[in-house]
């Protein structure tokens, strides 16, 4: 464990209990950070933030409604009303990443619906944390989405400004362009990546934490784009099943549900080993959305 960080000024009023609801898709569900002892077999940055929040603020309550594979409108349709019913004081929203992977997407129209949801969340009195999309870079399998991701991000930044939301600019977290922060599926963050994002969220909230953040040279290599053998394995184990799901109109999220649909009080605990890996692959064996 590391020593507590030097926190920025707190943005969570001490007189209000922390009731945090996390909304989104696989990023917020925790895919890429396996832990079979937890719901859906994953941990993720949101669990890590909730645990550190509880250590700093024992009044913390945490719900996570995120489900892998969900498009933005599906997230809003399925998660917004249950979130508001929980009367949160803090909400995080990451939505739209899966839309960017579809052949066609009207980003402007999509973000109009996103902003309407943010307006409702802010009107409830909750503090809201928004995220830009991550820059996949030129070597990622999703590099072709960069132009639409950039447009999406400008919408998110403007919406955050207009409605006084907190913003984690994921696009500018350049350290995460190191492949050691990514799972073997090349789409989801590894345990190290989730931990790095958790630390950034806690610092945004002004909360001290004890997360261990090892330097990249101490991390295992979990993805190696450009290595022919691994590229072929990746295509067989992840890309082909993803394409089949698109053709069938199904999603990896069809067989899972929200991990924490009601408030829970999380406490830090060790990760249970995830078990054997798929032959010839390294890192998490979670499916691509």
CA pair distance 254, 195, nearest whole angstrom: 26
Q: Would residue 1 count as lying in a domain? A: no
Give a yes or no: residue 83 inside a domain: yes
Q: Which residue has the tokens 């931990």?
A: 195
Q: Which among 166, 199, 196, 190 has a CA at the least distance from the CA of 33?
A: 190
Question: Within a domain: residue 281?
Answer: no
Query: What per-residue confidence (pLDDT) applies to 217?
Result: 83
pLDDT at 7 (0 to 100): 39
Q: Give me the pLDDT at residue 276, please.
A: 39
Q: If we measure between CA atoms, which residue out of 199, 222, 200, 210 comes closest to residue 274? A: 222
Of 84, 57, 31, 33, whose CA–CA distance to 265 is shortest? 57
**CA-CA distance, 40 to 248, in Å (whole number)?**
23
Q: What is the number of domains present in the chain?
A: 1
**Which pair of tokens denotes residue 225?**
């784009």
Q: What is the pLDDT of residue 282?
A: 39
Task: Give dist(CA 121, CA 115) in Å, integer.
Answer: 10
Closest CA to 14 of 180, 207, 160, 204: 207
Whether residue 246 is contained in a domain is answered as yes
Q: What pLDDT, in 10s, does the model give residues 65-122? A: 999 999 999 999 999 999 999 999 999 999 999 999 888 999 999 999 999 999 999 9
| 274 assigned to some structural domain | no
Please count the other Cβ atoms lying within 10 Å of the Cβ belonging to residue 278: 14
**3-state DSSP percent of the chain in helix, strand and coil, to 5:** 45, 10, 45
Burial 4-30 (b: 16+ CB within 10 A, else e): eeeeeeeebeeeeebbbbbbbbbbbbb
How far apart are alpha carbons 242 and 289 in whole angstroms?
A: 7
pLDDT in the model for residue 283: 41
pLDDT of residue 11: 75
pLDDT one-digit tens code per residue, 25-38 = 999 999 999 999 99
Residue 137 lies in a domain: yes
Q: What pLDDT is attached to residue 287? A: 42
Domain-located, residue 14: no
pLDDT value at residue 8: 42
Q: Which residues of the chain have pLDDT under 70?
A: 1-10, 223-239, 241-243, 246, 250, 253, 271-289
In a domain, 275, yes or no: no
> What's the CATH code of the domain at 120?
3.40.50.1110
Domain region containing 50: 19-264
- What was the pLDDT predicted at 229? 65
Q: What is the DSSP letter of 184?
A: T
| Helices and strands in the chain, H and E counts | 8, 6
Residues 238, 246 contacting (CB under 8 angstroms):
no
């Amino acid at each position: 464990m590391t020593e507590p960080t030097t926190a920025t000024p707190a943005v969570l009023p001490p007189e209000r209990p922390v009731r945090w609801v996390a909304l989104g898709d696989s990023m917020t569900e925790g895919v890429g950070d396996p832990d079979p002892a937890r719901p859906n077999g994953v941990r993720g940055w949101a669990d890590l933030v909730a645990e550190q929040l509880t250590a700093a603020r024992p009044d913390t309550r945490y719900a996570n409604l995120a489900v892998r594979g969900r498009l933005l409108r599906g997230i809003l349709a399925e998660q917004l009303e249950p979130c508001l019913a929980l009367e949160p004081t803090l909400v995080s929203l990451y939505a739209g990443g899966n839309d960017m992977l579809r052949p066609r997407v009207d980003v402007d129209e999509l973000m109009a619906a996103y902003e309407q949801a943010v307006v409702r969340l802010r009107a409830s009195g909750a503090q809201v944390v928004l995220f830009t999309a991550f820059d996949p870079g030129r070597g990622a399998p999703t590099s072709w989405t960069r132009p639409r991701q950039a447009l999406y991000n400008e919408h998110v930044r403007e919406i955050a400004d207009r409605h006084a939301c907190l913003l984690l600019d994921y696009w500018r977290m350049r350290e995460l362009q190191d492949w050691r922060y990514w799972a073997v599926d090349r789409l989801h963050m590894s345990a190290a990546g989730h931990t790095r994002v958790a630390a950034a969220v806690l610092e945004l909230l002004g909360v001290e934490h004890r997360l261990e953040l090892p330097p990249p040279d101490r991390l295992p290599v979990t993805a190696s784009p450009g290595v022919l053998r691994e590229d072929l394995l990746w295509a067989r184990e992840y890309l082909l099943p993803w394409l089949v799901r698109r053709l069938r109109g199904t999603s990896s999220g069809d067989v899972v549900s929200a991990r924490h649909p009601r408030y829970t009080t999380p406490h830090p605990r060790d990760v249970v080993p995830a078990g054997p890996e798929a032959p010839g692959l390294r890192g998490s064996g979670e499916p691509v959305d």
